[in-house]
Chains A and B, each alone.
Chain A
Amino acid sequence: MLLVIEAMNKALRRVPAWPLYPLGALPVLWLFWQGVQGGLGVDPAKAIEHRLGLWGLWLLIAGLAVTPLGRFAGLRLIKFRRAIGLLAFFYILTHLLVWLVLDVQIPAQIWADIVKRPYITIGMAAFVMMVPLALTSNNWSLRKLGPVRWRRLHRLTYILVPLGAVHFVMVVKGWQMEPFYYLGIVLVLLVLRLVPTAIPARRRALKS
């Protein structure tokens, strides 16, 4: 197991992070293309909206998994985290725009929904928290803020990701399990951050 992780770390060292941006944008383009072509069924706007929300949540979870994977498995993914986070923002922003433009459509209704519907209020709050994080996900901001303040600001992910998962739990009809699984994964990833660092796997990984 450790050998595998070592090999992966070695291989990943040679992989640049920048291709994640164009690669991450491809599914969104493909989704809209499918929607125009009729490949998403008879209600393409909803299909795009739901899929972007789900994929955005996957990316948020992936971003949240980077630190625990490093600490407990020794897998070094930190250099990809910025791209993962910015892609998550891009997916959720597109999800929000599809909701505004293709789904709700009526501006007065949009504001009414945001203030009156708790699941939308929560989703919106999570999105608003993502904005400063996306804006400061660059080297200049990191230098300007300094690592301590930057890290403190980016702890907003610990609030906004579970809010995103709760938004999913609240939007479905009846007692569907899928959104609860995601909320569970998010909570596990957060709780892992409270576990002390002195875990054998890490020490071994550090020694090698």
Chain B
Amino acid sequence: AGLGAVKSDYSTMEEPNPLEHITSYNNYYEFGTGKDDPARNAHRLTTDGWQVEIAGLVDKPGTWTMDDILKGTTLEERIYRLRCVEGWSMIIPWVGFELSDLLNRVGVQPGAKYVAFETALRPDEMTGVGSRVIDWPYVEGLRLDEAMNPLTILATGLYDETIPNQNGAPIRLVVPWKYGFKSIKSIVRITLTEDEPPTSWNKTLPNEYGFYSNVNPNVDHPRWSQATERRIGGGLRAPRLPTLMFNGYGAQVADLYDGMDLSKYF
């Protein structure tokens, strides 16, 4: 039973990676730091009865069930490039809806400038949170205009089916022009704030991971170059491809950063 997601003009024409790639090669440290750990361990996560708390500078704060969230939304298929900060990439056919839909429904108050997100923290189900690789729970954030951009979606599906746990079930963010870690998984809290919220990797290593973390081939990670990427699925001899500014989404998002020094706000 497919989700019946409708096609979108925002989708890339590139050939998506097979489902097996997308579900067997994940960074989801709550389930372990190995790429294959989430596929092995994430089945423990119970997504039944999932609730998302929406709080902060909104007109209608409260707790939303997944049914509430999905009521009245049209699910779209968004085939996006995903560029990991580690230097690999995939093409992924997400199913979801624009974050701005939800934010408009809760009513963003004028003072709000940022959106903060938080991942579930369930030590009984998440086998990786026993070790303090980073400070749990995982948190992320966007500037409000980034959050309202039509490319920014909340994904609940993959390949027109319900999203698998290792990919961030039941609901995750997808921000295709930023490094993958910005696209926070298994969201339990969304908070509209006036101040820039803390973000997990920035807290862990501030000189390596900035708040913005836009895909940028001209600004290296201190430990490796970001100029090229290896597309997952090419086998042993997978060639390196040039990494595109804003992951190729510059036409839609470059003006968000007009006048900003992107090597300073990396």
Contact = CB atoms under 8 A, between A and B. Distances in A.
A46 to B, nearest CB: 8
Contacts of A104: 240
Contacts of B36: 41
Interface stretch (B17-25, B52-60, B100-108): B17-25
Contacts of A44: 235-236
B35 interface: yes
B228 interface: yes
A177 interface: yes
A162 B110 CA distance: 56
A207 B24 CA distance: 58
Contact of B25 (A43, A105, A113): A43
Interface string A166-205: 0000111111110000000000000000000000000000
A104 to B, nearest CB: 8
Contact of B204 (A102, A103, A175, A177): A175
B132 A175 contact: yes
A189 to B, nearest CB: 25
A103 B240 CA distance: 8
Contact of B33 (A36, A116, A171, A174): A174
A42 B236 contact: no
Contacts of A41: 24-25, 35-36
Nearest to B21: A42
Nearest to A98: B236
B133 A175 contact: yes
Interface string B35-47: 1100000000000
A113 B225 contact: yes
B33 A176 contact: yes
Given A45-B236, A176-B33, A177-B131, A109 B228 contact: yes
A174 B134 contact: yes
Contacts of A113: 224-225
A174 B204 contact: yes
B133 A36 contact: no
Interface residues of B, number: 34
Contacts of B224: 113, 117
B88 A43 contact: yes
A6 B21 CA distance: 52
A109 B227 contact: yes
A119 interface: yes
Nearest to A103: B230
A68 interface: no
A29 interface: no
B225 A173 contact: no
B230 A43 contact: yes
Interface string A44-78: 11101000000000000000000000000000000
Contacts of A106: 228, 240
- 9 closest A-B pairs by CB: A174-B133, A42-B21, A42-B25, A44-B236, A174-B134, A105-B240, A35-B236, A42-B232, A117-B223
Interface of B: 17, 20-21, 24-25, 29, 33, 35-36, 86, 88, 131-134, 201, 204-205, 220, 222-225, 227-228, 230, 232-233, 235-240
Interface of A: 35-36, 38, 41-46, 48, 102-106, 109, 112-113, 116-119, 170-177
